[in-house]
């Protein structure tokens, strides 16, 4: 059974936070769908609030702490990334942006990413398309078609996965994201299919 690694990045500032709650729900939805496709899933959550001081020091010194480097390595080494931020002044949080500013622009190329955001009112939902998608387009990531915005009022609406409420959006986003993760994992070359250097191919021909 193939094992896939999912990493969720939560930029929530409080504990507990609705941002972390949304990240956990999205991980759960993606894990469930991948399990249906007979994948084993290892999932972790990177809490940026715990790395806020390290992120700020990195901008001053140019060197990441051990904990920050470990978080960056987890994100860049994942088969799929779930990125969730609270909304401040109609955009992603400064902590969220600062973390992704520290990631090499090519490190997430082709990586499936599921976007999520939380805020006090539904009026901020456009942040998904006006701020988050352009950021991850610049990083050359594959963003899932459905992104999830959760306003304060969404958490109290109840409903189930078959209604158009928050649970339904989470389920649909998780399914789409899982499909991207599985497709990307299956398209990677197996060790025996890796590119053989031209010099070695010539040497093999001479031996024949």
> What is the per-residue pLDDT for 70?
97
Provide the pLDDT confidence category of residue 45 given band limits of 50, 70 and 90: very high
Provide the pLDDT confidence category of residue 5 given band limits of 50, 70 and 90: very high
In tens, the pLDDT along 75-114 reads 999 999 999 999 998 899 999 999 999 999 999 999 999 9
Dihedral sign for Cα 108, 65, 74, 96, please: negative
Interaxial angle between packed helices 18-36 and 166-187, expressed in degrees from 0 to 180 and rounded to the nearest 10: 50
Pick the closest to residue 118 from 34, 44, 16 (CA basis): 16
| 38 conformational bin, left if phi > 0, alpha if psi -120 to 50, beta if neither | left
SS (H, E, C) 74-94: HHHCCCEEEEEEEEECCEECH
196 pLDDT above the threshold of 70 = no
> What percentage of residues in the chain have a pLDDT greater than 90?
75
Alpha helix locations (H) across 62-165?
66-76, 94-101, 127, 133-138
CB atoms within 10 A of CB 99: 25
58 pLDDT above the threshold of 60 = yes
Does the 3-207 domain belong in CATH 3.40.50.360? yes
State both tokens at 173: 């986003």
Which long-range contacts link 87-93 to residues 24+ away (Cβ below 8 Å)?
A: 87/117, 87/118, 87/119, 87/124, 87/127, 90/124, 90/126, 90/127, 90/131, 91/127, 91/130, 91/131, 92/11, 92/117, 92/127, 92/131, 92/132, 92/135, 93/11, 93/13
All structural domains of the chain with their residue ranges: 3-207
Q: State how beta strands 91-92 and 80-88 pair.
A: antiparallel
């Amino acid at each position: 059974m193939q094992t896939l690694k999912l990493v969720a990045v939560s930029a929530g500032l409080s504990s507990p936070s609705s941002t972390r709650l949304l990240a956990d729900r999205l991980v759960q939805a993606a894990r469930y769908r991948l399990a249906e496709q007979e994948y084993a899933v290892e999932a972790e959550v990177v809490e940026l609030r715990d790395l806020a001081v390290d992120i700020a020091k990195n901008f001053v010194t140019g060197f990441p702490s051990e904990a920050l480097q470990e978080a960056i390595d987890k994100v860049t080494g994942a088969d799929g990334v779930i990125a969730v931020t609270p909304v401040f002044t109609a955009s992603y949080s400064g902590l969220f942006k600062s973390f992704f500013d520290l990631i090499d622009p090519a490190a997430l190329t082709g990586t499936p990413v599921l976007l999520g955001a939380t805020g006090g009112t539904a009026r901020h939902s456009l942040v998904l398309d006006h701020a988050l998608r352009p950021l991850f387009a610049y990083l050359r990531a594959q963003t899932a078609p459905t992104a999830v915005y959760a306003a304060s009022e969404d958490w109290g609406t109840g409903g189930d996965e078959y209604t158009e409420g928050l649970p339904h959006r989470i389920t649909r986003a998780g399914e789409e994201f899982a499909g991207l993760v599985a497709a990307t994992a299956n398209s990677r070359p197996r060790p025996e299919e890796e590119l053989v250097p031209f010099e070695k191919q010539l040497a093999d021909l001479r031996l024949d």
